Structure 1
Amino acid sequence: MTIDIPGYRAGTWTLDPAHSEVTFSVRHMMISKVRGTFGVKSATIVAPENPLDATVSATVDVASIDTNDENRDAHLRSADFFDTEEHPTMEFVSTGTRIEGGDFFVDGDLSIRGVSKPVTFELEFGGFGQDPYGNYKAGASATTVINREDFGLTWNAALETGGVLVGKDVTITLDLQGSLQA
């Protein structure tokens, strides 16, 4: 199947880190959500003529985690969670792009803490355009939910009132902007 996306151009796209963000949210004490961000080290999309044949590879700097609490961030970097000394990055490599019911999905392998699992991101195109400097840009958002325990992130603490300190489900959201390479 070939699709037509207005403004789409084939080529190699690289991430614009100043206009991109990786965020996450997870339940805390089962009563609220903690949100945080990661810095993106690199991301490349190779886009052939048919957008459904595009490939994506991305690397995130895990040590860049920021939840607006330095003590929590240090704990998340420790061996209890991400173990950034041994596993400094998270990686995503796509295995396919598809359309279902008019929605776009990107399937791929997500690697966290040395564990790779298949995940699916739901993709929302923001559009295409040329910036004031002549660079052709594309924007998109993508979201998935993972079970952190599937990736070896199993630390938790029981609460006196019942439940646990940290939820299992983590929502990951990517807000990305990239530039078409000349």
Structure 2
Amino acid sequence: MTDTTAIDIPGYKQGTWVLDPAHSEVGFSVRHMMISKVRGAFGVKSATLVAPENPLETTVTAQVDATSLDTKDEGRDGHLRSADFFDVENHPTIDFVSTGVRIEGGDFLVDGDLTIRGVTKPVTFDFDFGGFGADPWGNYKAGATAKTVINREDFGLTWNAALETGGVLVGKDVTITLDLQGALQA
């Protein structure tokens, strides 16, 4: 059951929050050769969260720089940026627009539309708030981690290679982890 009543979050303040890219990252992990995981990250171009009196009416828009992809392997990064995967020449950003915020079973969930490679699909991020507080320069900050799992093939990322030992080179499920810090705008 979805709870739609207003909730109390200690330290929560209304207003427009802007993501701090220097303290935020979009990470991902995916199975490689069926035996291990490859991890990587993208830089965040922009993100804005508009927080009204009721936190469950919050809206979020975010844009990730797909060209910033980094898996710590230049050859793999080049392949992932190519038309086989993200096709960053034609799709330089990954976009998210929220469609709702809810609490289910004690979890804070943000539903929205994720666009990768020009394909938009609904996703749900499970948020874990780190808290709120003022930094030494008087800025009011918030921190959170959010996770979701997507099937990369749903977004047109279908390239793969069969392995001699059975299975495939790249798994279908991709775990996306957002480590976020934002500041309340004056």
| TM-score normalised by structure 2 residue count | 0.97
Aligned residue for 2:75, secondary structure, equals: helix
1: CA distance, partners of 2:20 / 2:80: 26
1: CA distance, partners of 2:149 / 2:51: 25
Q: Does 1:84 align with 2:68?
A: no
1: CA distance, partners of 2:98 / 2:16: 15
Q: Which amino acid aligns with 2:176?
A: I
Instruction: Report runs of 4+ in structure 1 exceeding 6 Å deviation.
Output: none
Q: Does 1:69 align with 2:73?
A: yes
Aligned counterpart, 2:98: 94
Deviation at 1:101, TM superposition (A): 1.3
Q: Does 1:125 align with 2:129?
A: yes
Q: Does 1:31 align with 2:35?
A: yes
1: CA distance, partners of 2:43 / 2:49: 18
Question: C-alpha root-mean-square deviation of aligned residues, in Å?
Answer: 0.4
1: CA distance, partners of 2:119 / 2:88: 14
2: CA distance, partners of 1:146 / 1:37: 16
Aligned counterpart, 1:45: 49
1: CA distance, partners of 2:49 / 2:156: 28
1: CA distance, partners of 2:26 / 2:118: 19
Aligned residue for 1:149, secondary structure, equals: helix
Gaps of 5+ in 1: none
Give percent identity, aligned residues only: 81
Deviation at 1:31, TM superposition (A): 0.2
Aligned counterpart, 1:14: 18
Q: Does 1:114 align with 2:118?
A: yes
